Structure 1
């Protein structure tokens, strides 16, 4: 009788292992392999939850300035180091008040529960601190756009991202198409 029970348990064990592997792969897919930050999918789920629960929430969009130049001048290893540094600085700034993510390329995103307690000047300072890489001090700069969700007619993540994107490009001093606003 015990042999029959063991034979019945083998497929169940196989399914349990398979399920565990799939769960691990799904979790890994929601993390950026370079920076360890949440990818768009992982971050979006957390951001939507945060916006629903915290009326003072805000969404931030961060774009590295002159990243292509840094990458072309100092190499891809320096570019990767810059992305990792920005991710670490953004994650540290968010702390327990929010969640950071990497949308791709040199574009990062964050949601914070309460923008009134978040120090945006501290984030700006951190993101503009030079990066020590391979014995050199590389300049870093980033443009930040923010949107306080309470200021939207409807507290929707897509609208908050669009508003933060517009604010970020205004901070860069140009429109989405790359032209100066006065043109």
Structure 2
């Protein structure tokens, strides 16, 4: 009995010391996990799970440097999104945005940069070789025009305008220039049901109220309006 009591007395303080020493480590681990989650939240859009603008921009530039002429910048803008919000409510609008994000992610693949730039505006940078470009953009248009099923079982018809730009067509590897050209092409073909490929002319289109005014393009892919 004495031996047992002695052993407990001898190791008790040591155990307490180890436990006390472990507490700051545990606290730091919890803090680090919380910080990691906070940083992740700043990188990801909470509604769609897509990258926010800064995270998307960094990843997009990496992909442009890596793939060069085989890279493409694709801008996507939901059509008549305000009407969906007004007619069916913001919850339905959120479901539509999340569905667009999921479709873009599935279409682009895990190595692409897919971001929500704000509101109903999305951007993708990925490797898109010339031989597959038309087929892939047609596929994207079809995916984005597939009706969305809401939580209550109702379906809503959706559509999105798509503009694409490549370094070869635009004459620049700069992300901002490529996005501007793709955005101008998008608005040139707005509501057409087709993806429009930008030219050097689209890269020169000035910004109008924060958006670009389109000019005639050279190629369109997708379904007829």
Give the TM-score normalised by structure 2. Answer: 0.70
The answer on 1:148 being equivalent to 2:148 is no
The 3 A distance-change label for structure 1 pair 11 and 142 is same
What root-mean-square deviation, in Å, do the aligned CA atoms of Structure 1 and Structure 2 show? 2.7
The 3 A distance-change label for structure 1 pair 104 and 6 is same
For residues 64-87 of structure 1, the C-alpha deviation after alignment (integer angstroms, 9 at most, x for no partner) is 000000110011111111101111
Counterpart of 2:33 in structure 1 is: 20
Does the Cα contact within 8 Å between 1:100 and 1:111 map onto a contact in 2? yes
Give the TM-score normalised by structure 1. Answer: 0.84
Does the Cα contact within 8 Å between 2:172 and 2:178 map onto a contact in 1? no
Q: Give the distance between the partners of 1:74 and 1:39, measured in 2 at CA.
A: 26
The 3 A distance-change label for structure 1 pair 52 and 143 is same
The answer on 1:76 being equivalent to 2:84 is no
The 3 A distance-change label for structure 1 pair 120 and 97 is farther
Q: Give the distance between the partners of 1:98 and 1:44, measured in 2 at CA.
A: 12
The answer on 1:160 being equivalent to 2:173 is no
Cα deviation for residue 131 of structure 1 reads 1.3
Number of aligned positions between the proteins: 181
Instruction: Give 1 or 2 for the bigger CA radius of gyration.
Output: 2
Q: Give the distance between the partners of 2:84 and 2:144, measured in 1 at CA.
A: 15
For residues 8-57 of structure 1, the C-alpha deviation after alignment (integer angstroms, 9 at most, x for no partner) is 77556544543332222111211111111111112111101100000111
Counterpart of 1:127 in structure 2 is: 144
Q: Give the distance between the partners of 1:30 and 1:150, measured in 2 at CA.
A: 30
Among 36, 50, 54, the alignment partner of 1:41 is 54
Name which structure has the greater RCO, CA cutoff 8 Å, separation 6+: 1
Does the Cα contact within 8 Å between 1:54 and 1:114 map onto a contact in 2? no
Among 166, 169, 172, the alignment partner of 2:187 is 169
